[in-house]
Amino acid sequence: MEFYRSHVLVCTGTGCTSSNSRSVISGLRKELADKGLEKEIQVIETGCFGFCNLGPIMVVYPEGVFYCRVSQDDIQEIVEEHFTKGRVVQRLLYHEPNTTVKTQEFNDIEFFKHQKRIALSNCGIINPEKIEEYIARDGYFALAKVLHEMKPEDVIEEIKKSGLRGRGGGGFPTGMKWNFAHKAQGDQKYVVCNADEGDPGAFMDRSVLEGDPHSVLEAMAIAGYAIGANQGYIYVRAEYPIAVERLRLAIEQAHKMGLLGKNIFGMGFDFDVDIRLGAGAFVCGEETALLTSIEGKRGEPRPRPPFPANSGLWGKPTIINNVETYANVTRIIRNGWEWFASMGTEKSKGTKVFALAGKIKNTGLIEVPMGTTLRTIVYDIGGGILNDKKFKAAQTGGPSGGCIPAELLDTPIDYDNLIAIGAMMGSGGLIVMDEDTCMVDIARFFLEFTQDESCGKCPPCRIGTKRMLEILTRICEGKGVPEDLENLETLAKTIKSAALCGLGQTAPNPVLSTLRYFRHEYEAHIYDKKCPAGVCKSLLSYKINEDKCRGCSLCARNCPAKAISGKVKEPFVIDPEKCIKCGACMEKCKFGAIERK
């Protein structure tokens, strides 16, 4: 066994890889070899640390020094200063927002202080391509415990008592779902993992698969034992090449060690896992459409009942859980249901992973106990709003979710609270918006997405979302009429009650929530023909302030529509008939003379 005085963990998740972390790793290994330090310093390729906007990230142990935005140009200095002279490279440390403080240790950074990592506990810690590192973190111990010490009914009861609810959107109790499939009659049963996260801005499942793929495989085997299944399928987006590659490698390694396949642990239990690639259809995130796609057919939802637990894949009893749900299972089995149930709220136990994005300083992947307030997420973990602007709203649950206004910042985030305020947990996308966001335009954006992704099978979704989108587009263009608000609400309620699947039933949520909390913005668009946030182009007007204009002609020279005229050293004028409202003049003006209204 080799012993190293330092271990250097470098992120190779999608985010850091796109920031050239691979070249950082190769450069680091070369520099260490040149200095004769390759036997003293071990470089470990890990999954996502979560702090995505700071990549590539490098953490040095045992000190726990956290370096961010590391480039190839920094390697020589890191090796010379840190590994040779024992001096931390101060300029690469994390700088806390709104302070002059540079934080050295990983655990002292505010972004991580308020988190509780369970599903993400191995991400950024182990090399996901080495099964030995997963085992060293108690990997596959839960499967061994289940097969040697527990009956299928005991496993289901443990999951039930833990209070684990599905992390894919609906929040259905996981233990109850497993129990239905366990009791269902069938000569063949299946375990399916839904890794088809299609929400804009969501990357929770991808990061778990990239950073800890064995946790999902182990949990699926446990689920197979619990319900009496011997075959599992992971339905993953083809747009996730790193996740797919690591899943395939993990399956191969588990087979070689006898942790998948025949007679696992010599207990007579057989279980295998295959991968199926999705082609990017958002509707295939809906469980019945996903099953249809695995069967090789067009991904369209099926009427329910029967539910998949009784008649799922090829008509056989099937359970479907998403990646994050499975990632919690092994921890529950190892630590006991009481441990998991001690976290969170009364009806929402454990933690939740969110992809934090939008107008926020610290973007990335976070995991917090259920019941954590939105204020804690936005200001303590997220570091506040970009450019210190005002928080306006947060959109949770992707296109199926709703918008949470500033007055509800102190709402504890769990399944029931979010539903009560017109939002939903969803799979965990959380997009933060500032004062410059138009909520009507946001509702239009999400509805345009769901309308485009509708499979078209049922008229309420196919036609209803199209009519709603037409109304929203008309309002954004300044052509809205008072009756549009009533028509939007009527259409939304009809679609929610009549659509075939969850995509259609939840598609109106962004519209309903923005109408509920930001109705004044709709009214401004309709009655005043103004966009309060200055986003909707058709409702904007640009004017040059004569008192501020210096007559430099820069605005006129950069106007693509030739809509600005005047004489040098005299105030210029914008022709509203010719103006295409692109904002180029405002961007180029050095004196703040262009006003947008």
| Judgement on whether residues 580 and 510 belong to the same structural domain of the protein | no
268: left (phi over 0), alpha (psi -120 to 50) or beta: left
| Judgement on whether residues 263 and 295 belong to the same structural domain of the protein | yes
Confidence bin at 199 (pLDDT 50/70/90)? confident
pLDDT in tens, 502-525: 888 888 999 999 999 999 999 999
| Judgement on whether residues 144 and 259 belong to the same structural domain of the protein | yes
Question: Where residue 587 sits, what CATH number does that domain have?
Answer: 3.30.70.20
Domain count, the chain: 5
For the entire predicted model, the pTM comes to: 0.91
| Judgement on whether residues 98 and 11 belong to the same structural domain of the protein | yes
- Farthest-apart Cα atoms in the chain, separation: 89
Mean pLDDT within 102-124: 88
Question: Where residue 404 sits, what CATH number does that domain have?
Answer: 3.10.20.600
Q: Are 354 and 243 in contact (CB under 8 A)?
A: no
Q: What is the DSSP string of 500-560?
A: SSHHHHHTTHHHHHHHHH-HHHHHIIIII---TTS--GGG--EEE-TTT-----HHHHH-T
- Give the amino acid at 46: T
Alpha-carbon distance of 229 to 18, in angstroms, equals 38
pLDDT in tens, 37-54: 999 999 999 999 999 889
| Judgement on whether residues 169 and 231 belong to the same structural domain of the protein | yes
Mean pLDDT within 130-159: 97
Confidence bin at 1 (pLDDT 50/70/90)? low
Three-state SS across 206-226?
A: HHHHHHCHHHHHHHHHHHHHH
The predicted structure's pLDDT at residue 423? 85
Q: Are 127 and 379 in contact (CB under 8 A)?
A: no
Confidence bin at 400 (pLDDT 50/70/90)? confident
pLDDT in tens, 454-498: 888 899 999 999 999 999 999 999 999 999 999 999 999 999 999
Q: Is residue 533 part of a domain?
A: no
Alpha-carbon distance of 205 to 203, in angstroms, equals 6
Lowest-pLDDT range, 218-232, 359-373, 424-438, 555-569?
Answer: 424-438
| Judgement on whether residues 448 and 588 belong to the same structural domain of the protein | no
Q: Residue 257: which domain range?
A: 131-341
Alpha-carbon distance of 151 to 385, in angstroms, equals 50
| Judgement on whether residues 229 and 184 belong to the same structural domain of the protein | yes
Q: Is 63 exposed, middle or buried (0-12, 13-18, 19+ CB in 10 A)?
A: middle
What is the overall mean pLDDT for the chain? 92
| Judgement on whether residues 317 and 422 belong to the same structural domain of the protein | no
Q: Is residue 535 part of a domain?
A: no
Alpha-carbon distance of 471 to 394, in angstroms, equals 23
Mean pLDDT within 277-304: 89
Alpha-carbon distance of 64 to 45, in angstroms, equals 16
Alpha-carbon distance of 273 to 399, in angstroms, equals 30
* DSSP one-letter code for 273: E
* DSSP one-letter code for 84: I
582: left (phi over 0), alpha (psi -120 to 50) or beta: alpha
Q: How far is CA 274 from CA 154, 210, 229, 233, 281, in A?
A: 27, 17, 14, 5, 20
Q: Is residue 162 part of a domain?
A: yes
Q: How many CB atoms lie within 10 A of CB 89?
A: 16
Q: Is 91 exposed, middle or buried (0-12, 13-18, 19+ CB in 10 A)?
A: exposed
Q: Interhelix angle for 204-211 vs 213-227, to 10°?
A: 100
Q: Which tokens in the block code for residue 343?
A: 């976290």
* Confidence check: pLDDT of 198 > 80: no
Confidence bin at 405 (pLDDT 50/70/90)? very high
Q: Are 8 and 58 in contact (CB under 8 A)?
A: yes
Q: Is residue 240 part of a domain?
A: yes
pLDDT in tens, 341-358: 999 999 999 999 999 999
Instruction: Give the side-chain half-sphere CA count within 13 A for 53.
Output: 17
Question: Where residue 337 sits, what CATH number does that domain have?
Answer: 3.40.50.11540
Q: Are 213 and 247 in contact (CB under 8 A)?
A: yes
Question: Where residue 93 sits, what CATH number does that domain have?
Answer: 3.40.30.10
| Judgement on whether residues 306 and 380 belong to the same structural domain of the protein | no
Q: Which tokens in the block code for residue 562?
A: 């030739």
Mean pLDDT within 306-324: 95
Q: Is residue 67 part of a domain?
A: yes
Alpha-carbon distance of 425 to 365, in angstroms, equals 15
* Confidence check: pLDDT of 105 > 90: no
| Judgement on whether residues 315 and 254 belong to the same structural domain of the protein | yes
Q: Which of 113, 141, 159 lies at the terminal end of a domain, its last residue?
A: 113
Q: Are 302 and 292 in contact (CB under 8 A)?
A: yes
Q: Are 356 and 381 in contact (CB under 8 A)?
A: yes
Q: What is the DSSP string of 366-386?
A: EEEETT-BHHIIIIIIS-SBG
Q: How far is CA 323 from CA 261, 306, 320, 377, 440, in A?
A: 21, 24, 10, 22, 33
Q: Which of 407, 434, 461 lies at the terminal end of a domain, its last residue?
A: 434
Q: Is residue 45 part of a domain?
A: yes
Coil, strand or helix: which one is 403? strand
Q: Which of 483, 499, 528 lies at the terminal end of a domain, its last residue?
A: 528
The predicted structure's pLDDT at residue 103? 80
pLDDT in tens, 416-431: 998 888 888 877 889 9
Alpha-carbon distance of 504 to 92, in angstroms, equals 47
Q: Is residue 124 part of a domain?
A: no
Please provide the size of the chain in residues.
597
Q: Are 546 and 571 in contact (CB under 8 A)?
A: yes
- Give the amino acid at 119: A
**Alpha carbon 437 to chain centroid, angstroms:** 20
Q: Is residue 488 part of a domain?
A: yes
Residue in this structure with the two tokens 């894919």, named with its chain if needed: 168
Q: Are 502 and 460 in contact (CB under 8 A)?
A: no
| Judgement on whether residues 226 and 298 belong to the same structural domain of the protein | yes
The predicted structure's pLDDT at residue 406? 94
The predicted structure's pLDDT at residue 397? 83
The predicted structure's pLDDT at residue 283? 86
The predicted structure's pLDDT at residue 141? 97
Q: What is the DSSP string of 285-297?
A: GSHHHHHHHHTTS
| Judgement on whether residues 250 and 107 belong to the same structural domain of the protein | no
